Structures are given as structure tokens and as C-alpha cells.
Amino acid sequence: MTTAIPTHRDIDLSDKNFWAKSPEERDAAFAVLRRENPVPWSRPADSDLLPPEQNTKGFWSLTKYEDIRFASRHPEIFSSAQGITMEDFPPEMIHIAQSFIAMDAPRHTQLRGITQDAFKPRNMRRLQSWVQGHARDLVSEMAHLGEGDFVELVSVQLPGRIFGSFFGLPPGEIHDKTINAAQRLLGWTDPQVRGDQTALELFAGAVMDLHETAGLLIPERRANPGDDLLTWMVQAEFDGKKMTDDELKGFFVLLAVAANDTTRHASAHAIHTFSKFPQQRELLVADVPGRVDSAVEEVLRWSSVLAHMRRTATQDVTVRGSEIKAGDKVVLWYMSANRDEEIFDDPFTFDITRNPNPHLAFGGGGPHFCLGAALARTMLRSLLTEVYTRIPDIHAPDPNFQVANFINGINNLPATWTPEQS
């Protein structure tokens, strides 16, 4: 008995059950949308972030690469100020948790300028040296074991340690509480992460824990500057302006996600994907220094850890015949753009020699392009170099994927490898 090929009418991006499907099933559904209905309208998303009487807004989806690039490069038409996720949050949560990625010019321009001052080349070189050292240490700690959950041993640990170094978190309770909050922040749709909490309870609790840490550290860094990212952010300015304490707290939450959740899941996807495609793993192992950079780019395209960002239309606009009205929500599906057949040759093949590889893993360009892109690449490059130089036969074919529509995540990844001899 064969399974009927779905049509675009069978695909409900608002349904929680859709996000419990396998990555292959979701990718196939987006391929149908790109072909049959590339700008579909969806009912309000299944969500308990808002009471049912407030969760009333449906949304448009952009599934094609060029449409997403257009929307990303025209913030005057597609605004970020009303939220950046498919699901709506209470307005107060947008301001305290999403920082300047949920703002438009001119304040977005000012805060991004301040951030770029903190991310100056000298500081970036310091961060990169931390990344390389932590990757080396972590693989040294697990290489002799021969088996274990790669997420628990490495994927959670590496960004957690780097985040701790970034912000100079003191060891002990504050460090552990902060890292835990950062790593559960985007798991509001996943039953394993959420436990017996509601989605809003989990998200708000994580945000409050991060704000508490930031509230302790910000005045301390002003009084006693250190060699860490929070000190650089406290001192940074643009056009003579610095961030307020509330803006610094929001940025701390934003960096918690960027440094922890996204990098954590990208590293797990990398190990799983090379297990799924052993010929590509052999290709990498044969010349790690020569192929690791292109391997990182293909992992980023293939995994599309950041599944989407959302915008809100500021005026009526027509995209591929769909009439989007001012005030409508518009979701930019990066995970679909990174499989767009019009952009990528053979997009459903994982190929670490792919060139060019203009993926949208860090967004579609424009003023909201990810500031941490270079650092994320450094994390993956450092980790893949250590892993496939020292335990090249690591095998992890059976991931436990998160149920989520914003982050394409992996909760657990059992792995085996030939132990490294001391």
C-alpha cells in the first residue's frame, strides 16, 4: 500500500502535530508548498503562550529563497517590532526577551551599532581563542569513553562553557542556574523540555533567571571591568549612546540563545548528519583542514537550526499573487529556503563540497543579519576539527528530535566511537 503524496491543502503549519513529524516529512511538505502554494495562509498557531481569546492572528508563510531575501532586506515593509516568532508572546515578553532583533530603525540601528562596537576584531579574536580551547578540552574529556549521549557530553557543554567565558560567569550556583535557563529558553513547545510547565511558564521562568543574573553582573562590571563580553557591552557606545540596564538585560537573554541553543543543536546535527552520510564523513576525515570550512557551511544549510523568523507587514504588499495586508504576520521559513530547488542543485543531497552555498542559516540579509555568524562558524569549525581528527568513526544514527517550530533541535544523540588511547 503506497502513501498518497500530500497536496498543499493537507499541510497545516499551525498544527503542533506537524512539528512532531520527522525532518524528512517536514522537508517534503515544504517542497510541496514551494511547488504548489509558496505563500500560504495559515490559521492561528496552536499555542498556549496566549489565552485562546487573544491567540487570534493567522499568518502568511514565505517558503521561497528569493521572497525571504526580499522581505529581509525591506524592513520598511516587513517590520520586526511586533515579534519575531510564529507564535505570539505577551507584549511585555517581546521587550524583555527579544532585545533589538524585535525592533526597527532608528533604535535597532543604535543598539546594533553599540553591539558591533563590542564585537570589534580584537574582542572577536579573544572569543575565538576561548572557543578553540574549550572544544579541545571537551573532546579530550570524552574521547576515551567510547560511547555516550553526544548532546550531554559535548553539545550542551561546549556552548555552556563558552557562554560562561563570554560573560565571566562566576563558578557555582549562578553559573549553573544561568546555563540551565539559557538551554531551556526555546524549548517551550517540546514536552520533554517543558515537563509539567505551561509554555509561558517555562519561557518566562528562563527569562527571569537570566535577567536576575544580568542584574547582578551589570553593576559589578561597571565597577570592576573585566575581559569579557558583558564588560565590553557595558562600555560600548554608538553615536555617544550606551545601552540602558534594561536593554543590557534583554541583550543578555538574546546572547544566551545565540551562544547556547542554536550552537548546541547545530553541533548535534553535524554529528548525526555525518553518521547518516558516511561517505561524506570519510571525505571530511581524509582532509579535515582542507574541507572543514565547506563542511560547516553545508551543515548549516542542511540542519537549518533556526527554522524561521517572523515579520509584520507595515503596508499592503503582494507576493506571488498573495495579497498580504498591513498588520498581517509573515513567517520567513529559512528551513524551506535552504532546500529551494531554484537556488541549490540537488538540495536534498548533503554535500560538503557544495560551492557556492548561499544558505540562509543566519537570515536573509538586511539589518537583522546575525551578528554572531562568524563566531558560530568558529564554534562548529573548532568542534568538527577536534572530533573528526581524534574520534573520526563516531556514529550517532538515532537522534531524539525536539518538537518545535522555531528551533530545529535535538534533545538526545546516543553515540559510539573507538576510544582514543591516552
**Tens-of-pLDDT digits for all 422 residues of the chain?**
445 667 898 999 999 999 999 999 999 999 999 999 999 999 999 998 888 899 999 999 999 999 999 999 999 999 998 888 999 988 777 666 656 566 677 766 766 776 676 667 777 777 778 888 999 999 999 999 999 999 999 998 888 888 787 788 888 888 888 888 888 877 878 888 888 888 888 888 988 998 999 999 999 999 999 888 888 888 887 778 888 888 888 888 877 777 676 788 999 999 999 999 999 999 999 999 999 999 999 999 999 999 999 999 999 999 999 999 999 999 999 999 999 999 999 999 999 999 999 999 999 988 777 777 888 898 899 999 999 999 999 999 999 999 999 999 999 999 999 999 87
Residue 66 in 3-state DSSP?
helix
Which domain does 18 fall in, by range? 8-416
Q: Per the domain annotation, does 278 fall within a domain?
A: yes
Alpha helices (H) along 98-156:
107-118, 121-142, 150
Q: How many domains does the chain have?
A: 1
Ramachandran class of 70: left when φ > 0, alpha when ψ lies in -120 to 50, beta otherwise: alpha
Q: Per the domain annotation, does 2 fall within a domain?
A: no
pLDDT of residue 1: 41
Q: Per the domain annotation, does 351 fall within a domain?
A: yes
**Domain holding 325: CATH number?**
1.10.630.10
Q: Per the domain annotation, does 261 fall within a domain?
A: yes
User: Cell for 106?
Assistant: 532608528
| Residue among 256, 334, 213 at smallest CA distance from 98 | 256
Give the Å distances, CA to CA, from 258 to 20, 27, 64, 149, 373. 24, 24, 25, 22, 10
Give the Å distances, CA to CA, from 63 to 13, 25, 36, 100, 152. 12, 16, 11, 25, 33
| Residue among 93, 159, 168 at smallest CA distance from 131 | 159
Q: Per the domain annotation, does 126 fall within a domain?
A: yes
The tally of CA atoms less than 13 A away on the side-chain side of residue 382 is 25
Q: Per the domain annotation, does 422 fall within a domain?
A: no
